[in-house]
């Protein structure tokens, strides 16, 4: 039967014939299919040290892409022909954290081995998902440099709680995946970390830029500085965006919100600037908790972060 108005299995949303929404360029990955950007969901937040529903974020961020067009007015360029391949979400184990981390590392590695895309975006999840993701990138590309936007060092000890969303970069360093000098942290916030972990960062030659540094030097200067530190010694650069780097006024849907963070515009500008470098092959976006969000503000900002990485 032919329906006059109904379109089964399709949303009844308004369609402007001249406007392409970002989610319209997202298609499921199929074998031997190629595209520009690969997307994978890492929906895991059981290792969060605070109550978190970040496992729901991959879905809400994908949905938020439907709120924005592919046309950049600032660049006067339309990205409607850019192909985004969706590799789906990694199925987590219901009780075994170690098995879940293994599944995520294997899945990211398999995605990279397809060589289907130029860049890849990992949608977390809490920040613990960066450990398996970055480990997979290291296996594929060799020496890896990381730019981390975050209020926290994420260098907590493993003894008190195992691998959590507070330990990914300590885990990477102690597992020999990442050298401390190849990690640059932007937006570390005051009264948000322990002295022991600040000392650990110094001991391992991690490049740390606090919010005071951002205020004094400016986000563009710092972003340029960290790129220069990594570009001549690393085989690839990975961007890790913890959304709690942003002030709680702009990103209320994070488990560890706080005042005095980056503005939304500072984060977007910094990510866009870093993403222009040819060594940047991947980015994760983590610590979006849709259950704590207000009008999807944080998911929408995360979608914009994703777009700043894609459309460079």
Tell me the backbone φ, ψ of residue 136, rounded to 5 degrees.
-65, -40
Q: Which pairs count as long-range contacts for 209-218, CB under 8 Å and 24+ apart, including other chains? A: 209/184, 209/185, 211/187, 211/260, 211/261, 211/262, 214/186, 214/187, 214/262, 214/266
Does 127 carry a binding-site annotation?
Answer: yes
Nearest of 134, 216, 199, 242 to residue 225 by alpha carbon = 216
Does 76 carry a binding-site annotation?
Answer: no
Does 153 carry a binding-site annotation?
Answer: no
> Which one-letter DSSP state was computed for residue 270?
H
Q: Are strands 77-78 and 144-149 parallel, antiparallel or unpaired?
A: unpaired
CB 121 within 8 A of CB 39: yes
CB 255 within 8 A of CB 54: yes
Does 152 carry a binding-site annotation?
Answer: yes
- 3-class SS at 115? coil
Calculate helix-pair angle for 97-113, 130-141, nearest 10 degrees.
40
| Structure-block tokens of residue 118 | 């130029």
Does 96 carry a binding-site annotation?
Answer: no
Does 244 carry a binding-site annotation?
Answer: yes
| Structure-block tokens of residue 80 | 């409607």
Distance (Å, rounded) from C-alpha 198 to C-alpha 152?
10
| Structure-block tokens of residue 50 | 């605070």
Residues facing residue 184 across a β-bridge:
147, 207
Annotated binding site for Mn(2+): 127, 150, 152, 154, 242, 244
Annotated binding site: 127, 150, 152, 154, 242, 244
């Amino acid at each position: 039967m032919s329906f006059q108005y109904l379109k089964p299995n399709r949303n009844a949303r308004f369609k402007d014939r001249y406007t392409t929404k970002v989610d319209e360029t997202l298609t499921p990955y199929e074998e031997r299919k190629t595209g520009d950007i690969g997307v994978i969901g890492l929906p895991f937040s059981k290792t969060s040290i605070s109550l978190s529903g970040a496992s729901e974020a991959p879905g809400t961020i994908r949905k938020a892409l439907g709120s924005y067009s592919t046309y950049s007015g600032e660049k006067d360029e339309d990205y409607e022909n850019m192909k985004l391949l969706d590799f789906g979400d990694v199925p987590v184990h219901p009780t075994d954290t170690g098995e879940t981390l293994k599944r995520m590392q294997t899945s990211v590695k398999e995605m990279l081995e397809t060589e289907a895309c130029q860049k890849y975006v990992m949608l977390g999840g809490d920040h613990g998902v960066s450990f398996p993701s970055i480990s997979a990138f290291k296996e594929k590309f060799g020496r890896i440099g990381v730019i981390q936007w975050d209020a926290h060092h994420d260098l907590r000890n493993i003894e008190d709680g195992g691998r959590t969303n507070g330990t990914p970069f300590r885990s990477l360093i102690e597992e020999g995946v990442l050298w401390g000098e190849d990690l640059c942290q932007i937006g570390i916030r005051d009264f948000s970390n322990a002295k022991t972990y600040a000392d650990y960062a110094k001991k391992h030659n991690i490049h740390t830029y606090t919010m005071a540094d951002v205020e004094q030097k400016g986000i563009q200067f710092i972003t340029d500085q960290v790129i220069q530190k990594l570009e001549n010694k690393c085989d690839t650069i990975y961007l890790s965006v913890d959304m709690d780097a942003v002030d709680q006024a702009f990103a209320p849907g994070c488990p560890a919100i706080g005042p005095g963070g980056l503005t939304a515009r500072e984060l977007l500008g910094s990510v866009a600037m870093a993403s222009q470098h040819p060594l940047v092959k991947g980015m994760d976006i983590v610590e979006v908790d849709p259950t704590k969000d207000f009008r999807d503000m944080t998911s929408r900002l995360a979608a914009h972060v994703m777009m700043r990485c894609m459309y460079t």
